Amino acid sequence: MGIAMPDSPQDTESRPTGMLPVRASAIVVAAGKSERMGGIDKLFVEIGGRPLLHHTLAAFEGCEAINHIMLVLSLEAAPAALELLKTGRFQKVDGTCVGGARRQDSVRAGLTALRACEWVVIHDAARPLVTTPLIEDGIAAAQETGAATAGLPVSDTLKEVGSDETVLWTVARENLWAAQTPQVFRYELLSRAHDRDDLEASDDAGLVEQIGGRVRIYRGAETNIKVTTPEDLAVVEAFLMRRRTAAQAR
Protein backbone atom coordinates (compact mmCIF):
# COMPACT_ATOMS: atom_id res chain seq x y z
CA MET A 1 0.00 0.00 0.00
CA GLY A 2 1.15 3.57 -0.60
CA ILE A 3 3.67 5.17 -2.92
CA ALA A 4 6.54 3.16 -4.35
CA MET A 5 9.65 5.31 -4.64
CA PRO A 6 11.99 5.16 -7.64
CA ASP A 7 15.49 3.92 -6.85
CA SER A 8 16.92 7.28 -7.93
CA PRO A 9 15.89 10.28 -10.04
CA GLN A 10 18.10 9.01 -12.85
CA ASP A 11 15.94 5.89 -13.20
CA THR A 12 13.14 7.92 -14.78
CA GLU A 13 15.24 10.53 -16.56
CA SER A 14 17.34 8.01 -18.49
CA ARG A 15 14.45 5.94 -19.84
CA PRO A 16 14.03 6.35 -23.61
CA THR A 17 10.62 7.74 -24.51
CA GLY A 18 8.50 7.32 -27.61
CA MET A 19 8.64 3.49 -27.65
CA LEU A 20 5.79 2.51 -25.37
CA PRO A 21 4.19 -0.94 -25.43
CA VAL A 22 0.76 0.43 -24.51
CA ARG A 23 -1.50 3.32 -25.34
CA ALA A 24 -3.91 5.13 -23.08
CA SER A 25 -6.89 7.44 -22.93
CA ALA A 26 -6.68 10.75 -21.10
CA ILE A 27 -9.05 12.67 -18.85
CA VAL A 28 -8.23 16.37 -18.72
CA VAL A 29 -9.92 17.91 -15.69
CA ALA A 30 -11.04 21.50 -16.37
CA ALA A 31 -14.07 21.85 -14.10
CA GLY A 32 -12.58 24.11 -11.42
CA LYS A 33 -13.95 27.51 -10.46
CA SER A 34 -10.70 29.59 -10.70
CA GLU A 35 -11.58 31.01 -7.27
CA ARG A 36 -8.14 32.55 -6.67
CA MET A 37 -7.83 34.15 -10.11
CA GLY A 38 -9.50 37.47 -9.28
CA GLY A 39 -12.65 36.86 -11.29
CA ILE A 40 -11.09 35.55 -14.52
CA ASP A 41 -11.30 32.02 -15.88
CA LYS A 42 -7.72 30.80 -16.12
CA LEU A 43 -8.62 28.24 -18.81
CA PHE A 44 -9.01 30.98 -21.41
CA VAL A 45 -6.27 33.42 -20.40
CA GLU A 46 -3.87 33.75 -23.32
CA ILE A 47 -0.31 32.59 -22.73
CA GLY A 48 2.11 32.78 -25.63
CA GLY A 49 -0.73 33.67 -27.98
CA ARG A 50 -2.94 30.71 -27.06
CA PRO A 51 -5.48 30.07 -24.28
CA LEU A 52 -4.09 28.12 -21.33
CA LEU A 53 -6.41 25.19 -22.08
CA HIS A 54 -5.12 25.02 -25.65
CA HIS A 55 -1.55 24.40 -24.42
CA THR A 56 -2.69 21.56 -22.15
CA LEU A 57 -4.76 19.83 -24.81
CA ALA A 58 -2.04 20.27 -27.44
CA ALA A 59 0.42 18.26 -25.35
CA PHE A 60 -1.97 15.30 -25.22
CA GLU A 61 -3.03 15.73 -28.84
CA GLY A 62 0.61 15.48 -29.89
CA CYS A 63 1.43 12.47 -27.70
CA GLU A 64 1.50 9.26 -29.74
CA ALA A 65 0.72 7.19 -26.66
CA ILE A 66 -2.68 8.88 -26.22
CA ASN A 67 -5.61 7.56 -28.26
CA HIS A 68 -8.57 9.51 -26.87
CA ILE A 69 -9.13 12.57 -24.69
CA MET A 70 -12.14 13.24 -22.46
CA LEU A 71 -12.43 16.88 -21.39
CA VAL A 72 -14.29 17.48 -18.11
CA LEU A 73 -15.78 20.98 -17.88
CA SER A 74 -17.88 23.18 -15.67
CA LEU A 75 -21.21 24.30 -17.11
CA GLU A 76 -19.97 27.90 -17.13
CA ALA A 77 -16.84 27.08 -19.15
CA ALA A 78 -18.51 24.72 -21.62
CA PRO A 79 -19.48 27.22 -24.37
CA ALA A 80 -16.01 28.79 -24.59
CA ALA A 81 -14.31 25.39 -24.36
CA LEU A 82 -16.42 23.92 -27.15
CA GLU A 83 -15.51 26.87 -29.35
CA LEU A 84 -11.83 26.33 -28.54
CA LEU A 85 -12.13 22.66 -29.52
CA LYS A 86 -13.67 23.66 -32.82
CA THR A 87 -11.06 26.27 -33.74
CA GLY A 88 -8.15 24.24 -32.36
CA ARG A 89 -9.07 21.14 -34.36
CA PHE A 90 -8.22 18.69 -31.63
CA GLN A 91 -8.84 15.32 -33.27
CA LYS A 92 -8.32 13.21 -30.14
CA VAL A 93 -10.81 15.12 -27.98
CA ASP A 94 -13.76 12.91 -28.82
CA GLY A 95 -15.82 13.58 -25.72
CA THR A 96 -16.73 16.21 -23.12
CA CYS A 97 -18.72 15.98 -19.92
CA VAL A 98 -19.72 18.16 -16.98
CA GLY A 99 -17.76 17.83 -13.75
CA GLY A 100 -18.94 17.76 -10.16
CA ALA A 101 -18.56 19.70 -6.93
CA ARG A 102 -15.25 18.07 -5.99
CA ARG A 103 -12.29 17.20 -8.16
CA GLN A 104 -12.85 13.48 -7.55
CA ASP A 105 -16.48 13.91 -8.68
CA SER A 106 -15.21 15.43 -11.92
CA VAL A 107 -12.77 12.58 -12.52
CA ARG A 108 -15.51 10.06 -11.80
CA ALA A 109 -17.71 11.76 -14.39
CA GLY A 110 -14.87 11.51 -16.88
CA LEU A 111 -14.34 7.83 -16.14
CA THR A 112 -18.04 7.14 -16.66
CA ALA A 113 -18.11 9.01 -19.97
CA LEU A 114 -14.83 7.61 -21.29
CA ARG A 115 -14.93 4.82 -23.84
CA ALA A 116 -13.55 1.44 -22.73
CA CYS A 117 -9.78 1.39 -22.25
CA GLU A 118 -7.10 -0.39 -20.23
CA TRP A 119 -5.02 2.63 -19.17
CA VAL A 120 -6.13 6.15 -18.30
CA VAL A 121 -4.07 9.30 -17.74
CA ILE A 122 -5.52 11.96 -15.43
CA HIS A 123 -4.24 15.51 -15.82
CA ASP A 124 -5.22 18.91 -14.44
CA ALA A 125 -5.95 21.36 -17.25
CA ALA A 126 -4.36 24.06 -15.09
CA ARG A 127 -0.90 22.51 -15.72
CA PRO A 128 -0.39 23.79 -19.29
CA LEU A 129 3.33 23.02 -19.58
CA VAL A 130 2.95 19.25 -19.46
CA THR A 131 5.07 17.56 -22.14
CA THR A 132 4.90 14.41 -24.22
CA PRO A 133 7.89 12.84 -22.39
CA LEU A 134 6.19 13.51 -19.04
CA ILE A 135 3.03 11.75 -20.22
CA GLU A 136 4.98 8.82 -21.67
CA ASP A 137 7.14 8.48 -18.55
CA GLY A 138 3.96 8.13 -16.49
CA ILE A 139 2.56 5.40 -18.72
CA ALA A 140 5.85 3.54 -18.52
CA ALA A 141 6.08 3.90 -14.73
CA ALA A 142 2.53 2.62 -14.21
CA GLN A 143 3.34 -0.70 -15.90
CA GLU A 144 5.03 -1.94 -12.73
CA THR A 145 2.22 -1.42 -10.21
CA GLY A 146 -0.83 -0.32 -12.20
CA ALA A 147 -0.58 3.25 -10.92
CA ALA A 148 1.90 6.14 -11.15
CA THR A 149 2.08 9.82 -10.35
CA ALA A 150 4.49 12.53 -11.39
CA GLY A 151 6.16 14.32 -8.50
CA LEU A 152 9.23 16.15 -7.26
CA PRO A 153 11.25 15.69 -4.07
CA VAL A 154 10.40 18.34 -1.49
CA SER A 155 13.25 20.85 -1.10
CA ASP A 156 11.71 23.33 1.35
CA THR A 157 11.85 22.88 5.12
CA LEU A 158 8.39 21.81 6.28
CA LYS A 159 6.74 22.92 9.53
CA GLU A 160 3.59 21.55 11.11
CA VAL A 161 1.68 24.46 12.62
CA GLY A 162 -1.00 24.54 15.31
CA SER A 163 -4.30 26.42 15.27
CA ASP A 164 -2.59 29.37 17.01
CA GLU A 165 -0.12 29.62 14.08
CA THR A 166 2.88 28.53 16.12
CA VAL A 167 5.19 25.75 14.95
CA LEU A 168 4.55 22.36 16.52
CA TRP A 169 7.58 20.71 14.95
CA THR A 170 9.69 20.48 11.84
CA VAL A 171 8.75 17.66 9.48
CA ALA A 172 11.65 15.61 8.12
CA ARG A 173 11.62 16.08 4.35
CA GLU A 174 13.57 12.93 3.49
CA ASN A 175 11.43 10.69 1.26
CA LEU A 176 8.78 13.43 0.87
CA TRP A 177 7.64 14.25 -2.67
CA ALA A 178 5.15 16.85 -3.92
CA ALA A 179 2.69 15.17 -6.27
CA GLN A 180 1.82 16.55 -9.71
CA THR A 181 -0.19 15.30 -12.63
CA PRO A 182 -0.14 13.40 -14.98
CA GLN A 183 -1.26 10.41 -12.94
CA VAL A 184 -1.68 7.09 -14.77
CA PHE A 185 -3.78 4.08 -13.75
CA ARG A 186 -5.26 0.88 -14.98
CA TYR A 187 -8.82 1.89 -15.74
CA GLU A 188 -10.26 -0.94 -13.63
CA LEU A 189 -8.14 0.01 -10.59
CA LEU A 190 -9.05 3.70 -10.69
CA SER A 191 -12.74 2.95 -11.29
CA ARG A 192 -12.77 0.64 -8.29
CA ALA A 193 -11.35 3.43 -6.12
CA HIS A 194 -13.89 5.95 -7.40
CA ASP A 195 -16.75 3.51 -6.79
CA ARG A 196 -16.08 3.79 -3.05
CA ASP A 197 -18.37 6.57 -1.83
CA ASP A 198 -16.76 6.46 1.62
CA LEU A 199 -13.36 7.59 0.33
CA GLU A 200 -12.11 11.12 -0.22
CA ALA A 201 -8.73 12.41 -1.38
CA SER A 202 -7.23 15.46 -3.04
CA ASP A 203 -5.91 13.43 -5.96
CA ASP A 204 -6.58 10.11 -7.66
CA ALA A 205 -3.41 8.51 -6.36
CA GLY A 206 -4.70 9.12 -2.84
CA LEU A 207 -7.92 7.24 -3.62
CA VAL A 208 -6.02 4.31 -5.10
CA GLU A 209 -3.73 4.18 -2.05
CA GLN A 210 -6.80 3.89 0.20
CA ILE A 211 -7.95 0.68 -1.52
CA GLY A 212 -4.51 -0.86 -1.16
CA GLY A 213 -3.03 0.18 -4.49
CA ARG A 214 0.72 0.65 -4.86
CA VAL A 215 1.48 3.91 -6.65
CA ARG A 216 4.82 4.38 -8.39
CA ILE A 217 6.19 7.94 -8.28
CA TYR A 218 8.26 9.21 -11.18
CA ARG A 219 10.11 12.47 -11.62
CA GLY A 220 7.94 15.35 -12.78
CA ALA A 221 9.20 18.77 -13.87
CA GLU A 222 9.84 22.12 -12.19
CA THR A 223 8.06 23.74 -15.13
CA ASN A 224 4.94 21.59 -14.68
CA ILE A 225 3.33 24.09 -12.32
CA LYS A 226 -0.37 24.36 -11.58
CA VAL A 227 -1.89 27.78 -12.26
CA THR A 228 -3.90 28.86 -9.23
CA THR A 229 -3.21 32.62 -8.98
CA PRO A 230 -2.63 35.44 -11.49
CA GLU A 231 1.06 35.46 -10.51
CA ASP A 232 1.40 31.89 -11.76
CA LEU A 233 0.49 33.03 -15.28
CA ALA A 234 3.63 35.15 -15.47
CA VAL A 235 5.73 32.16 -14.40
CA VAL A 236 4.15 29.95 -17.07
CA GLU A 237 4.71 32.65 -19.69
CA ALA A 238 8.39 32.86 -18.75
CA PHE A 239 8.84 29.09 -18.90
CA LEU A 240 7.05 28.96 -22.25
CA MET A 241 9.29 31.68 -23.70
CA ARG A 242 12.38 29.86 -22.46
CA ARG A 243 11.15 26.63 -24.04
CA ARG A 244 10.55 28.34 -27.39
CA THR A 245 13.96 30.03 -27.30
CA ALA A 246 15.66 26.71 -26.62
CA ALA A 247 13.74 25.06 -29.49
CA GLN A 248 14.76 27.81 -31.91
CA ALA A 249 18.41 27.47 -30.89
CA ARG A 250 18.54 23.78 -31.84
> From the CB of residue 140, how many other CB atoms can be counted at a distance below 10 Å?
22
Q: Where are the alpha helices (DSSP H) in the chain?
A: 9-13, 52-61, 78-88, 103-113, 132-145, 187-194, 204-210, 230-249
Out of 7-16, 27-36, 151-160, the most confident range is: 151-160
Examine residue 16 and say whether the peptide bond preceding it is cis (omega within 30 degrees of 0).
no
Each residue's pLDDT tens digit, 26-44: 999 999 877 677 668 899 9
Each residue's pLDDT tens digit, 62-103: 999 999 999 999 999 999 999 999 999 999 999 999 999 999
93: helix, coil or strand? strand
56 inside domain: yes
Please count the structural domains in the chain.
Answer: 1
167 inside domain: yes
Give the domain range for residue 65.
Answer: 2-9+21-249
68 inside domain: yes
Q: CATH number, domain at 174?
A: 3.90.550.10
